Structure 1
Amino acid sequence: MTRPLLLAGALAGPLYVGIGTVEAIVRDGFDIRKHSLSLLANGTGGWVHSVMMVGTGLLTVIGAIGLAKCFAPGERSRWGVGGLIVYGAGVAAAGFMRADPALGFPPGTPDAMPETVSWHGFGHVIAGMIGFIGLIVACFVLSRWFGRHRAAGWSRFSLITGIVYLLALVGLGAAAGTTAGNLGFTVAVILGWTWITLLMLRARAEGSLR
């Protein structure tokens, strides 16, 4: 059962990035330089983005369960696998709780941040933050794990992904709604999903992480 679990985890990234890209292109009024992808859950067709987040989050959790089976006895990285489970669960939970309309999206929304935050908007932010922290932890922990097992390339890849995600998350908090903040975080999201996909495919192809 391990290979199907890992394949499910590997599919999460392409689905998230692919569907999100199509949405960003076809949804009227959406501008990636100004709007976060989470805003796509609003307006006509917003359900597509919500379902995508829930689905890819759950696929990530499934993949992480498969990944846990790829460690040699006594070498399982609980924090690495746990971080991925937290990330997947956070993405799925954020999909259930829609971000508040903001910055002119969907069309007709005031061109500013909302004056008040709804319960689901607040929950979306908290779930996302917890998930992002889980991914960062997974990157750093698995970087160290790969380093101990002389997989220098994967150690560096994991470390760089974690650092980029951490810097982008901090930058988003400081520059939300700006072109630099949005594009920087978008790059981090794509890199994070790429890391997860390649990690799952590596484990699936070799049958282990050694």
Structure 2
Amino acid sequence: MIKVVTSAAGGTRGAVTRSAGTLMACGVVAGPLYIVVVLLQMLTRDGFDISRHSASMLSNGDLGWIQMTTFVVSGLLFVAYAIGLARLPRPAAGRNRPWGPRLVGVFGAGMVAAAVFVADPADGFPPGTPAGAPTSMSWHGMLHLLVAQVAFLSLIAACFAFARRFAAAGSRGWAIYSRVTGGYFLASLISLVALQGARAANVAFALGIGLTLAWTSLLGVRLTRRAAR
């Protein structure tokens, strides 16, 4: 719990700070929740291979509701997290540029949209789907790709936005961590597009998602503790 401010104007500020603590907790659990559920599905869903299939394709099949629910729940948690991030005190140099929280919010909304616009089956998943890339794409499959790209790019931009914030605050280690995370995720996304179908690119991209979601969780812990001092 973030501490309550007891200054003359502390009543209102304290209430906002307490609510921010609850919202920040949403962000701490959102990434790990998504990672754990996807990992469990990777180990239990017949025919799924992370080197050939994206996690979004888990929304297909009889158990597709699990991934769709995961998208919605995780996405809403990230939206709540973004609100909490916006309520935390910011360094003076960044008070007029709250891009980090906004970008995290766009990512969360993108996750929810990814559940609505389901990715198309492909390359043998779910079982019964013809091997190889599909010869055509549905309208919801195209929209899924669109919202996914917007969400990924927003999260990458959030990494760099917070890197700038940490650099302005003198937190060099976190600035570097944020830049490296965003840089790797961007590189993996570019390789995924450039080397379509390459197994190494698929695995690198999946790793990029996992590392960046871990960053969002650790970011929440870091900023919550900092605000509580």
Same-fold call, TM cutoff 0.5: yes
Identity %: 41
Partner of 1:83: 103
* Deviation by residue 1:152-205 (Cα, 9 ceiling, x = unmatched): 111001100110111011111122332111110011001110110011111222
* The one of 180, 205, 218 aligned to 1:185: 205
* The one of 70, 76, 79 aligned to 1:61: 79
Distance 2:79 2:154 in 1: 12
In the TM superposition, what are the counterparts of 1:22-33 in structure 2 within 5 Å? 22-33=40-51
Asked if 1:198 corresponds to 2:218, the answer is yes
* The one of 46, 65, 69 aligned to 1:51: 69
Asked if 1:131 corresponds to 2:120, the answer is no
CA drift at 1:73: 7.2
Partner of 1:153: 173
Partner of 1:173: 193
Distance 1:157 1:169 in 2: 18
| Alpha-carbon contact 2:91-2:169 (below 8 Å) kept | no
* The one of 156, 163, 173 aligned to 1:143: 163
* Deviation by residue 1:50-105 (Cα, 9 ceiling, x = unmatched): 11011101101100110111123753342111111111111111121110000110
1:199 partner letter: L
| Alpha-carbon contact 1:165-1:192 (below 8 Å) kept | yes
1:82 partner letter: R
Asked if 1:3 corresponds to 2:21, the answer is yes
Distance 1:73 1:201 in 2: 17
| Alpha-carbon contact 1:36-1:177 (below 8 Å) kept | no
CA RMSD of aligned residues (A): 1.4
Asked if 1:121 corresponds to 2:134, the answer is no
In the TM superposition, what are the counterparts of 1:93-108 in structure 2 within 5 Å? 93-108=113-128
| Alpha-carbon contact 1:29-1:106 (below 8 Å) kept | yes
2:55 partner letter: L
Partner of 1:35: 53
* Deviation by residue 1:112-162 (Cα, 9 ceiling, x = unmatched): 111111111011110000001111111111111111110011100110011
Distance 1:71 1:97 in 2: 36
CA drift at 1:7: 0.4
| Alpha-carbon contact 1:83-1:138 (below 8 Å) kept | yes
Mark the runs of 5 or more structure 2 residues left unpaired by the alignment: 1-18
2:177 partner letter: F
Work out which of the two has the higher radius of gyration on C-alpha atoms and give 1 or 2: 2
